[in-house]
Chain A
Amino acid sequence: MVITSTLAADAARLAAEVPDPELPHVTLGDLGVIRDVVEHGDRVEVVVTPTYTACPATEMICGQIVETLAEHHITAEVTLTLSPPWSTDWITDRGRERLRQAGIAPPPSGVGDDLEVVLDLPVACPRCGSHRTRRHSDFGATACKSMYSCEACREPFERFKPI
């Protein structure tokens, strides 16, 4: 994302601070879902890529970007793009740390195209750091999370699925 104008830069900064509707501990900037901000005269176009093809939060994310920018007197429209596809590799270091603090095991970085290899790697407990963890289900309350528990500290936890 290369932004030269002040309006687009302001819009990008504001949009990046919008919290994710399903994971309010992290922002859209942390997740890396905002791909571009383009200025069209006195309006901006925010290009967003959904985390999952069917992520139900996508519409709400788009609405909240438009609303937030409107509060700062910026007229915006959001367009969606699937390509290049969003990957958990785009979550920032700050985003990973915020997830961990919220009790959600962050995804490993560097998933690339080898997801099936990454899926077999051990997962660290977000509370005690132990790798003695057990996967209960690859699927959880949202499309982006799976369910684990820690054998060391006995706590259940969610994991942000590498994708």
Chain B
Amino acid sequence: MPAPTNTDTHHLTYLLRQADRALVLSHRLSEWVAHAPELEEDVAIANLALDLVGQARVLYAAAAEIEGEGRSEDDLAYTRSDREFRNVLLVEQPNGDFAHCMVRQLLHDAYAIELWSALRESTDPTLAGLAAKAVKETAYHLRHAATWVVRLGDGTDESRRRTVDALDDLWRFVDELFDADEVEDALVAAGVAADPAALRAGWDRRIDAVLTDATLERPEVAHPARGGRDGQHGESLSYVLSEMRSVRVEHPGATW
């Protein structure tokens, strides 16, 4: 077997960043199921989580293949240490109220739809194939989040206050979505990755349209938070991962 090249290492990191983003957000959403304000929302949130798990599985399987060490998609999801996770900080934030959940989805989904839209042109056939599918799944996710943010932001005094609080809390995690380091730089040049900076204009346009409809404004952020993509997480990630892995730890190797 040929030794892994720099490009392979970058490619692996890129796939893991995207897979971890999808998996961690999926688990945060699944924590909401049975706690949503109405039955339709329990169903909707479960569907969002399911789509994200599906996307994560394809990405982990592709990552496992590039890594070439015989690890499976499950091994990558369940057995890496917390510090090996490469998800952006936005998705690991602990759940708050329902407005917080919908604002997090909005900020994420507006990014995800731009990402998948661009990745349809990826030279990595697995990424391109997944992107063509995921961009459509994400269109439904985004419409769902946008509908709720407008309803809550332009709703009662209380729903508006909660939505503003959520924006204030989560906005500092936005910049990290569009960060690039040598991984993205190399892969953008190779046509594999989407240029994160190029996704920002579409994200801004989508978010501003929703905020206008919701009669809300962009919050001011003094200190953007970043580091998740390099494995520097808050302690909340450790809790969400240990819960996600609890069955696997209790029953190693179990199948059903």
The 9 closest A-B pairs by CB, nearest first: A54-B54, A83-B129, A53-B54, A139-B44, A82-B129, A139-B47, A85-B133, A85-B132, A137-B40
Residues A84 and B132 in contact in the complex (CB < 8 Å), given A52-B137, A53-B137, A147-B40 = yes
CB–CB A141/B43 < 8 A: yes
List 10 other contacts, CB 8 Å, given A54-B55, A116-B139: A52-B133, A53-B51, A53-B55, A54-B52, A82-B126, A139-B44, A139-B46, A139-B140, A140-B47, A161-B140
Query: CB within 8 Å of A: which of B1-60?
Result: 40, 43-44, 46-48, 50-55, 57-58
Q: Can you give 24 contacting A-B residue pairs, CB < 8 Å?
A: A52-B137, A53-B54, A54-B50, A54-B54, A54-B55, A56-B50, A81-B129, A82-B126, A82-B129, A82-B133, A83-B126, A83-B132, A84-B129, A85-B133, A85-B136, A119-B140, A136-B40, A139-B43, A139-B44, A139-B46, A139-B47, A139-B140, A140-B43, A143-B51
**B128 CB–A CB distance under 8 Å:** yes
Residues A143 and B130 in contact in the complex (CB < 8 Å), given A53-B137, A116-B139, A138-B44 = no
**B134 CB–A CB distance under 8 Å:** yes
Residues A82 and B144 in contact in the complex (CB < 8 Å), given A54-B50, A54-B51, A147-B40 = no
Chain B residues contacting A56 (CB-CB under 8 Å) are: 50
Chain B residues contacting A139 (CB-CB under 8 Å) are: 40, 43-44, 46-48, 140, 144
- Which bucket holds chain B's interface residue count? 20 to 34
Chain A residues contacting B51 (CB-CB under 8 Å) are: 52-54, 143
**B219 CB–A CB distance under 8 Å:** no
**A60 CB–B CB distance under 8 Å:** no
CB–CB B133/A54 < 8 A: no
Chain A residues contacting B144 (CB-CB under 8 Å) are: 138-139
Mark interface residues in B154-177 (1 if CB within 8 Å of A CB, else 0): 000000000000000000000000
**A160 CB–B CB distance under 8 Å:** no
**A163 CB–B CB distance under 8 Å:** yes
Chain B residues within 8 Å of A, Cβ to Cβ:
40, 43-44, 46-48, 50-55, 57-58, 125-126, 128-130, 132-137, 139-140, 143-144
**Least CB distance, A154 to chain B, in whole angstroms:** 18
**Least CB distance, B202 to chain A, in whole angstroms:** 12
User: Given the complex of chains A and B, what is the CA–CA distance between A32 and B50 in angstroms?
Assistant: 22
Chain B residues contacting A161 (CB-CB under 8 Å) are: 140
Among B44, B129, B136, the residue within 8 A (CB) of A115 is B136
Residues A86 and B140 in contact in the complex (CB < 8 Å), given A52-B51, A54-B51, A54-B53 = no
**Closest residue to A88 on the B side, CB-wise?**
B136
Chain B residues contacting A136 (CB-CB under 8 Å) are: 40
Chain B residues contacting A82 (CB-CB under 8 Å) are: 58, 126, 129-130, 133
**Closest residue to B38 on the A side, CB-wise?**
A137
**Least CB distance, B32 to chain A, in whole angstroms:** 13
Residue among A84, A85, A137, A139 having the largest count of chain B Cβ atoms under 10 Å = A139
